[in-house]
Amino acid sequence: MRKTQLVSCFIVINSLVASQFARAADPTDRDRPMISPTEAMSLLKEGNSRFTAGNGQHPHESTDERAYIAKYSYENPDAISLGMTSEQAAKRRAELTKSQHPFAIILSCSDSRVPPEIVFDQGLGDLFGVRVAGNVLNDEGLGSIEYGVDVLGARLILVLGHQSCGAVDAAMKTVAAKGKAPGHIQSLVAAIKPVVDSTRKADLDTMIKANVKYVVDALRSSKPILKTKIDSNDVQVVGGYYTLDTGAVTFLDGK
């Protein structure tokens, strides 16, 4: 078979496989890269509504879908666009049409009761996740988020705190007692301490929301990658709060 025929054959097969998963009415269709922040917010809200209503669709989790992802998607670590012009970056993104295209990045707590894919009713390839107790921001987490934005093309970043967060509670109590948490847990306390210091005598819920806002602000002012994209409205950072009782996520501000 000649090369052109092979290519045509591949395209036909690829189209057939792709069409198998085509979801004309499903906005989470993975073949649509560069979903806008507004659209990404809608997807998260719709997914959380399905979850709270007990009507989860568990999208993109079938064995067929998993096989498709394994066969047809890849990541290109050479694609980091830092230093590229916007035209070069756009071209690079276009070349990545078969890579993963998570529509949102979620920085959330490690808490076992708040897994983002479940509470937003999303599946494989939908969310780019960074999880660390207290949803604090460290360099590795920031690098991961920048990767999600700059290489994978996600345009919405959600910082998700939650009711009864043990990390924030521990930070609050440790700082109040002028103590030190054991081992490396102290690093979480240190990360949350500025929030505790600025919200003295606040209740835990207020402090959890202040901690989300603190991380949101840190991301919005993060140079060199995020701030520029956020200032130009290419990327949006929002804060959210998950209520354990109801399963509902409340978005803390609209920006």
Q: Name the residue nearer to Zn ion (CB basis): 93 or 162.
A: 162
Asked if 23 and 228 count as a contact pair (C-beta separation under 8 A), the reply is no
From the list 56, 72, 53, the residue with the least C-alpha distance to 11 is 72
Beta bridge partners of 242: 162, 249
Question: In Å, how far are 25, 63, 108 from 57, measured between CA atoms?
Answer: 14, 15, 22
Under a CB-based contact definition with an 8 Å cutoff, are residues 254 and 239 in contact? no
CB of 216 to Zn ion, least distance (A): 16
Size of residue set near Zn ion by CB under 5 A: 4
Nearer CB in complex with Zn ion: 79/132 = 132
Of 165 and 215, nearer to Zn ion (C-beta) is: 165
Residue 111 as a binder of Zn ion (CB under 5 A): the answer is: yes
Contact call for residues 158 and 240 (beta carbons, < 8 A): yes
Q: Which of 107, 165, 195, 207 binds Zn ion (CB under 5 A)?
A: 165
Smallest separation (angstroms) from Zn ion to the CB of 192: 10
Would you say 111 or 117 has its CB closer to Zn ion? 111
What one-letter code names the amino acid at 192?
I
For residue 129, give the H/E element and its range: strand 127-131
71-110 mask for Zn ion (x: CB under 5 A)? --------------------------------------x-
Check residue 208 for interaction with Zn ion (CB under 5 A). Answer: no
Where do contacts with Zn ion occur on this chain (CB under 5 A)? 109, 111, 165, 167
